[in-house]
């Protein structure tokens, strides 16, 4: 991920503003190789220490059959699977809430793909809202998780 | 596994560990999530206002709440052979460096379906002053056969 642009201002002018979001239109996405290192870095950032995420010998003895990522790994995948000009990176984007359903775990070595879109947009109490709808898949075309969220768009 | 489901009752409380938020934990979450929104990094930017909202300094990622709630739910589910299946959250108040937050869940209902068994929970996160930071609902599945449930 050395090429990941961490300056979210750099591509700001290329990102869609609320007016340009078309409900139903797919977002551009990128495949992402999920590594053990990325899983464990995410785990440490939220204090996850479960051996299912860190101890391969332990994980192999469980019905999981090996190390998995925690369900909330989609937090990383959302940014890992979208390009630098994706509107979710617009500085000032405020997360208002999310809902996610978990189907099967992501695993180290998985190549993750994303199907995503702005599903709806509306104005409420002078704020511009966009609803985003997302499904992550593994390299076998199996659903890992599906979710949607609402963000308040920068004015 | 079924013992776990049978012994659970509405009103049962699950608590996650406290999480002390610092600039370093926020920075670590940027690196771990690849979310480098200046809301979480740039104090000068955060002096401004955002429509009707003003924060006055950097804030923690809302999704850190989501990660902490997930940790609480999976730490409760895994030893019982159960699966964390769904989490819905709404953010109520921002979290700032220096705050300590803690997730909690309360069982609201048990539900048997055609093929499985479910526990529904209300979840929340509060800060050190008891201020409500996040609220939501979760669903944990207690499958009759965990191996089968994992290889759908």
Q: Are strands A143-152 and A127-137 parallel, antiparallel or unpaired?
A: antiparallel
- Cβ proximity of A146 and A71 under 8 Å: no
- What is the span of the domain harbouring residue B120? 11-19+62-150
User: How distant is the Cα of B12 from the closest Cα of chain A, in angstroms?
Assistant: 23
* Residue from B37, B55, B84, B116 to probe the interface with A (highest A Cβ count within 10 Å): B37
Q: For B76, which residue in chain A has the nearest alpha carbon?
A: A50
The full DSSP string for chain A is -TT----TTTTGGGSPPGGG--TTPBPP---EE--HHHHHHHHHHTT---HHHH-HHHHHTSTT-S----GGGHHHHHHHTS-TT-GGGSTT-EEEEEEEEE-S---TT-EEEEEEEEEEEEEETTEEEEEEEEEEE-TTS-EEEEEEEEEEPP-
In a domain, A50, yes or no: no
| Domain-located, residue B112 | yes
Q: Tokens 């819905």 label which residue?
A: B88
State how far residue B11 is from chain A, nearest Cα, in angstroms.
23
Q: Is A22 exposed, middle or buried (0-12, 13-18, 19+ CB in 10 A)?
A: exposed
Task: Establish if A102 touches chain B: CB-CB under 8 angstroms.
Answer: yes
Is B103 contained in some domain?
yes
pLDDT tens figures, A45-91: 999 999 999 999 999 999 999 999 999 999 999 999 999 999 888 88
- Considering the domain boundaries, does residue A137 fall inside one? yes
Is residue B49 in some structural domain? no
Q: Structurally, how many domains does chain B consist of?
A: 1
CA distance B135 to chain A (A): 9
How many domains does the structure of chain A reveal? 1
Query: Has residue A84 been placed in a domain?
Result: yes
Query: Residues 50..89 of B with a Cβ closer than 8 Å to A: which?
Result: 50-53, 61-64, 66-68, 70-71, 74-75, 78, 81, 83-89
A97 to B89: CB separation less than 8 angstroms, yes or no: yes
Residue B71, in any domain of the structure: yes
- Please give the residue range of the domain that contains residue A96: 18-34+72-153
> Is A26 within the bounds of a domain?
yes
Segment A132-146 shows an average pLDDT of 97
pLDDT band with cut points at 50, 70 and 90 for residue A4: confident
Q: Which residue in the block uniquely carries the two structure tokens 């608590």? A: B15
Rounded Cα distance, B27 and A44, in Å: 12
Q: Residue B68 belongs to a domain with what CATH number?
A: 3.10.129.10
- Across residues B30-42, what is the average pLDDT? 90
Summarised one tens digit per residue, pLDDT across range A13-39 is: 899 999 999 999 999 999 999 999 999
- pLDDT mean over B37-65: 81
Inform me whether the pLDDT recorded for B50 exceeds 70. Answer: no
Q: Does residue A39 sit within a domain?
A: no
The answer as to whether B53 is a domain residue is no
Chain B residues within an 8 Å CB radius of A151: none
CATH number at residue A122: 3.10.129.10
pLDDT single digits (tens) B115-131: 999 999 999 999 999 99
The answer to whether residue B111 is domain-embedded is yes
CA distance B36 to chain A (A): 6
pLDDT tens column, B88-104: 999 999 999 999 999 99
Q: Is pLDDT of A121 > 90?
A: yes
In a domain, B125, yes or no: yes
């Amino acid at each position: 991920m050395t090429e990941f642009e961490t300056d979210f201002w750099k591509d700001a002018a290329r990102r869609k503003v609320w007016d340009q979001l078309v409900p139903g239109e797919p977002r551009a996405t990128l495949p992402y190789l999920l590594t053990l290192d990325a899983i464990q870095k995410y785990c440490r950032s939220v204090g996850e220490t479960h051996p299912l995420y860190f101890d391969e010998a332990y994980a192999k003895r469980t019905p999981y059959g090996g190390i998995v990522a925690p369900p909330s790994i989609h937090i990383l995948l959302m940014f890992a699977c979208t390009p630098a000009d994706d509107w979710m990176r617009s500085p000032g984007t405020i997360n208002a809430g999310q809902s996610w359903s978990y189907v099967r775990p992501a695993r180290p070595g998985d190549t993750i793909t994303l199907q995503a879109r702005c599903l709806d947009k509306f104005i409420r109490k002078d704020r511009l809202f966009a609803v985003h709808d997302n499904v992550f898949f593994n390299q076998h075309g199996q659903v890992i998780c599906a979710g949607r969220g609402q963000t308040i768009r920068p004015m | 596994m079924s013992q776990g489901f049978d012994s659970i009752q509405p009103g049962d409380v699950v608590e996650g560990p406290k999480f002390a938020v610092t600039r370093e934990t926020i920075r670590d979450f940027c690196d771990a999530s690849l979310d480098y929104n200046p809301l979480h990094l740039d104090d000068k930017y955060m002096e401004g206002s955002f429509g009707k909202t003003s924060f006055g300094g950097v804030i923690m990622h809302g999704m850190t709440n989501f990660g902490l709630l997930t940790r609480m739910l999976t730490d409760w589910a895994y030893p019982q052979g159960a699966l964390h299946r769904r989490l819905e959250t709404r953010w109520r108040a921002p979290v700032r460096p220096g705050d300590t937050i803690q997730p909690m869940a309360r069982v609201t209902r048990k539900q048997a379906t055609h093929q499985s068994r479910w526990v529904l929970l209300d979840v929340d996160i509060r800060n050190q002053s008891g201020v409500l930071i996040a609220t939501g609902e979760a669903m944990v599945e207690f499958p009759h056969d965990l191996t089968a449930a994992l290889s759908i």
